[in-house]
Amino acid sequence: MSEVPVQQTFDWTQDSAECIEGLKFDLETQYDFVLDNFTKHNLTRKDGSRVVYPEKSKKAGQEILMYTFFWTEQQSNIVFKQDFFVQDQYRVNERAPETEDELVQMSRKLGYKPVLGGRFAVGDFVHLDTKIAAKLKLKALTDAEKAAGKKAFNTIDIATIVLDGESVSDSQQNLADIDTDALEELNKLIKEKPACKKFSDLTAKINKLGAKDSEKFKLLEPAMLAKDAGLLKF
């Protein structure tokens, strides 16, 4: 029988270690990430039990499935998770991107081109070791999370993602081509009552105008470009 080694003790009175700054991520800084893992899994509670759809839903009693991206920040090696519900259908509307499902928005940032009426295949755009640059944002809490006293945490801001190999100008689709008249009209729409407090308010206003005058729909593309370039003044 091998002997169990006796625990060795050390003199701690002269110990000294370097003091370094604690990890803190700036929401205005762009960071580099790599996709180290991606899973499809059950949604579970802390006690390990699986969450199912409520009785009144079409999938009553069925287990809820999730997709999870695991993005590793390259300097700190800290992993940021992004969770999305697995669905049978995904909302696609390139003319009104704020109405699309977040996973659809993510797929576009990863080079995928989903189309209305087509099939949405996760395997076509999820590839391990994919590299991106992106900013972080505070994840919005649900009412239940707020009631439970949970704190908001950082997550990747999908709107800021730039796929590795693209330049910022590439990802913004040649921002220099933004029509100055369109930009002026967009900022005018933002100020017109009811004033727009966020980008989704602006696109909603454009869609409402487009219902009466289809030419107004042409403002959606320059609106997206101007948003990415930070040229809209809310």
Mean pLDDT by 10 residues, the chain (234 residues): 71 82 78 96 88 88 93 93 94 86 94 89 94 88 67 83 70 57 87 86 88 86 76 76
Q: Which two tokens stand for residue 4?
A: 């169990």
Question: CA-to-CA distance for 133 and 221, rounded, in angstroms?
Answer: 23
| AA letter at 78 | I
- Helix ranges, the chain (H): 102-109, 143-147, 168-171, 180-191, 199-210, 220-229
CA atoms of 83 and 39, how far apart (whole Å): 10
In a domain, 186, yes or no: yes
Same domain? For 179 and 166 the reply is no
Within a domain: 126: yes
Per-residue pLDDT at 12: 85
**Cross-strand partners of 52:** 63
Total structural domains within the chain: 2
> CA angle, corner 120, sides to 118 and 126, nearest 5?
145
Tell me if 134 is assigned to some domain. yes
In-domain check, residue 47: yes
pLDDT of residue 171: 45
Neighbour-count burial of 88, counting CB atoms closer than 10 A to its CB (0-12 exposed, 13-18 middle, 19+ buried)? exposed
Q: 99 near 90, Cβ under 8 Å?
A: no
Q: What CA–CA distance (Å, rounded) separates 41 from 70?
A: 13
Domain membership flag for residue 148: yes
Please check whether residue 12 lies inside any domain of the structure.
Answer: no
- Could you tell me if 142 and 163 lie in one domain? yes
Predicted pLDDT of residue 124 = 93
Given 142, 171, 200, the domain boundary residue is: 171
- What is the 8-class DSSP label of residue 130? -
- What's the confidence (pLDDT) of residue 174? 47
Gap between the Cα atoms of 40 and 43, Å rounded: 10
At 92 the pLDDT is 92
pLDDT at 176: 53
Domain-ending residue, one of 171, 194, 220: 171
User: Are residues 196 and 101 both part of a single domain?
Assistant: no
Rounded to whole angstroms, how far apart are CA atoms 150 and 156? Answer: 19
Last residue of a domain, one of 171, 195, 219: 171
Tokens of 45: 């509670």
Which tokens go with 114?
Answer: 């989903």
Which residue segment(s) compose the domain that 101 sits in?
Answer: 31-171
